[in-house]
Chains A and B, each alone.
Chain A
Amino acid sequence: MKSDQISFEIALEDFDLSRLPVDEALLRADKELLASTVRAYYEDCFRELGGSTAIAVANGKVSVTWIGGDSNPVNAVLDHAIGLLNQGEFTAAEPLLRSIIAREARNGAALYNLGMMLSDTGRFDEAIDCLEDLVETGEAGANAWSALGVAQKRKGLGDEALESLRRAVSLEPDNGYALRNLAAIVAENSPQEALPLFAKATELLPNDPNSHLGLGQCLLALNRNDLADAVLKKAIEIDPYGALAERARSLRTKLSETFMREDSGASPHNDAVDACLGAMRLLDAGDAEKTKTIAFEAAMLGRGGLDINDPSSKYTLKSLSGQFTGLQLVALMYVGFKQIAPELDAGIDLSKEYEEASKRFHRSEQ
Chain B
Amino acid sequence: MDPYTKNLMEEVHRTTGYPVSVEVSDGLSDHARMVSARPEAPVHLIEVNADYRAQADYIVAAQCAMMQVTWSDPSSVWGVSLQAEKANHRLEKWSKAKPLKLLDPAKSAHIGSLYLRGLVNQLFSLPLEIVVTGRIFAEAPSLHGLQSSLQDAYLRRLSSILAPSFRSTLPEEVFQTNVGMNAAMAMAWCRLTGQKAPVVPYESIGASKTGGRLLELTEDLGGQGTSQSHVQTVDAWAQLLSLRSLYTWESSDRRS
Contacts and interface: CB of A to CB of B under 8 A. Distances in A.
Interface stretch (A6-14, A35-43, A331-339, A351-359): A35-43
Interface stretch (A21-29, A118-126, A216-224): A21-29
Contact of B197 (A25, A41, A293): A41
B159 A241 contact: no
A25 B195 contact: no
Contacts of A133: none
Contacts of A25: 160, 163, 165-166
B155 interface: yes
Interface stretch (B89-97, B112-120, B143-151): B143-151
Contacts, number: 105
Contacts of A44: 194-197
B40 A319 contact: yes
B100 interface: no
A33 interface: yes
A40 B53 contact: no
A197 B45 CA distance: 39
Nearest to A24: B156
A149 B54 CA distance: 25
B155 A21 contact: yes
A243 B195 contact: no
B162 interface: yes
Contacts of B60: 241
A268 interface: no
Nearest to B38: A293
A40 B200 contact: yes
Interface centre among A23, A87, A240, A297 (most CB of B within 10 A): A23
Interface in A235-265: 237, 239-243, 246
Given A21-B197, A87-B149, A241-B22, A26 B162 contact: yes
Contact of B163 (A18, A23, A37, A43): A23
Interface string B45-61: 10010000110110010
B204 interface: yes
B42 to A, nearest CB: 4
Main secondary structure of the interface of A (DSSP, over half): helix
B151 A297 contact: no
Interface in A78-96: 86-88
Contacts of B138: none
Contacts of A188: none
Contacts of A41: 197
B200 A240 contact: no
B160 A297 contact: no
Nearest to B144: A87
B21 interface: yes
A25 B162 CA distance: 9
A33 B201 contact: yes
B198 interface: yes
B196 A303 contact: no
B24 interface: yes
A300 B53 contact: no
B154 to A, nearest CB: 8
A246 B24 CA distance: 9
B162 A37 contact: no
Interface string B24-51: 1000000000000000111101001000
A20 interface: yes
A262 to B, nearest CB: 31
A247 to B, nearest CB: 12
A229 B45 CA distance: 27
A49 to B, nearest CB: 13
Nearest to B155: A21
A22 B155 contact: yes
Nearest to A87: B145
B60 to A, nearest CB: 8
B52 to A, nearest CB: 10
A289 interface: yes
B196 A241 contact: no
Nearest to A303: B21
Contact of A22 (B41, B165, B201): B201
A86 B145 CA distance: 7
B209 interface: no
Given A23-B156, A300-B21, A40 B197 contact: yes
B162 A36 contact: no
A47 interface: yes
Interface in B122-159: 145, 148-149, 151-152, 155-157, 159
B149 A88 contact: yes
Contact of B200 (A22, A237, A242, A246): A22
B23 interface: yes
B251 interface: no
A324 interface: no
- Considering the complex of A and B, which 6 residue pairs feature the smallest CB-CB distances, nearest first? A241-B56, A318-B42, A23-B160, A40-B196, A40-B197, A26-B163
Interface of A: 18-26, 29, 33, 36-37, 40-41, 43-44, 47, 86-88, 237, 239-243, 246, 289-290, 293, 296-297, 300, 303, 318-319
7 contacts: A23-B159, A23-B162, A23-B163, A29-B165, A43-B196, A242-B54, A293-B41
Interface of B: 1, 18, 21-24, 40-43, 45, 48, 53-54, 56-57, 60, 145, 148-149, 151-152, 155-157, 159-160, 162-166, 186, 194-198, 200-201, 204, 256
Given A37-B197, A241-B60, A319-B40, 4 more contacts: A25-B166, A29-B163, A41-B197, A300-B43
